[in-house]
Structure formats: structure tokens, C-alpha cells
Amino acid sequence: MTKSIILKSNAEIEQIGLANQIVARTLSMLKSRIESGVSTWQLDLWAEDFCRESGAIPAFKGYRGFPGSLCVSLNEQVVHGIPSKKVILHEGDILSIDFGVKYEGFYGDSAITVPIGLLDSKISQLLKVTEESLYKGIAQAKIGNRIDDISTAVQNHVERHGFSVVRQFVGHGIGANLHEPPEIPNYHRKGPSSRILEGMVLAIEPMINIGTHEVKILKDGWTVITKDKKMSAHFEHTIAVTQDEPLVLSSRD
């Protein structure tokens, strides 16, 4: 199962960590500037400028034809929302921001969902549970476990709180490529999954919905929304599997 998974040396993990810290700083900067009245296009400009000033290039821009540096997904949008001057943030919205960079040959990738103003309690809980589920998954990224242990930990936490896990999109390995094996579902799949080994670098990214897990892609060919148009949240970290605890390379602390 593991033959196509690329294990990373300590030196490579350090380089991937540098890329991820540029991502982390960019997301922190964006979070501090997000407010009602700002467009997703403006956020995209800020992100690209900050990234390039840090010596990196945006990983998503031009990737399979994607037009933006950020994936900005509003409310019922799950992932892959396109930045636009027409999309203005308002009180009560939630915005998922997924950002990646390439820095000195290696990739970083992380995502957060940010509230704009006050949210009702159910939506606040969605954000809290989604982020918690990410850390439940990360905790299982230990030598000797399997990828399915990550998946099952995420799913169990989410469903215990009455939310649903998107199945059509998954996490992934990352390193000198933006997407590498293994796939990391956020739900249990039948059959064997890859054993977790030291040197794996994984982008774990729960995408969690208030209503149905079913999604559809809009006519722009990118933007994914929930089928029932209910809210969705997305959190992601890039982590490295070490002899000790999983190392969160994209930590914003």
C-alpha cells in the first residue's frame, strides 16, 4: 500500500515546514483583516502580495487552471470558491480560506474558516467541531496506525455532534508536489488503508456540513457547494509523522 508514498527526510520536513510557515503567516494576516465589506478579491490580492514578499509563489494560482491564489468559499460553499470583486463579506457569513505556497521546491497547504461578526449558535458549533475534528485526526497520525485511524477519528467526532462529513474531497500527502499519495478521507472507507510511517507528510483537511454530506460543483467548474445549501466549514493543517507526536508544520501559534 505504501510503495508510492514518498517518505521525507528531516531536512525535507524542515523545508516543508518553512513553506507552511509562510502559509500560516498569510492566513493569520488575512484573519486579522477580514471584516464586513471586504471582497474576496481583495483578500486574494493581500495573500498573493504577502506570499511573494516572503519569497514564495502561490501554489493554487494556475493549478489545473484555477484563477486565484486563494480558495475562498463562502457559507454553503465547501471548497474551491473563486475570488471575486462581486463577493463582499457581510455580518453572519463564514468564509473558508484555503491557501498553499511553493517555497524553495516544497509546498505548504492549510485552511481555516473565519466568522464575520456574530454567528448563531449552530454555525459557531459547526466551526468549533470542524476544527476539533482536525486535531482528533492529527492525534492519530502516529507510527503504526493506519490512515483510516485518522479518517475514523474525524468522522466519529463530527457525527457525534450531528454534522456530516464531505466524502467527495479528501486530504492528501504533500511535499515536492502539492498532491501526493496517500489520500486521507475524513470518513471510514472499507478495506485496508496505508500504514502510517515516520517521514510521512500529510495535509489533513476535514470539510464538514451542517446538513447533508452531498455536494455539487457549480457551472464555473470549481466552486463546490452543499446540495441543501446549508453551511459548510473547512480546516486544514500540514503535519509530519515523527518518532514522537505529530508535528504541525502549518501551526499559526
pLDDT in tens, 122-177: 999 999 999 999 999 999 999 999 999 999 999 999 999 999 999 999 999 999 99
pLDDT class of 1 with cuts at 50, 70, 90 = very low
What does the alpha-carbon distance between residue 161 and residue 117 come to, in Å, rounded to a whole number? 23
pTM over 0.85: yes
Percentage of the chain beyond pLDDT 90 is 98
pLDDT in tens, 69-98: 999 999 999 999 999 999 999 999 999 999
Task: Map out the domains of the chain with their CATH numbers.
Answer: 10-245 (3.90.230.10)
CB burial of 59-93 (b: ≥16 within 10 Å; e: otherwise) equals: bbbeeeebebbbbbbbbbbbbbbbbbeebebeeeb
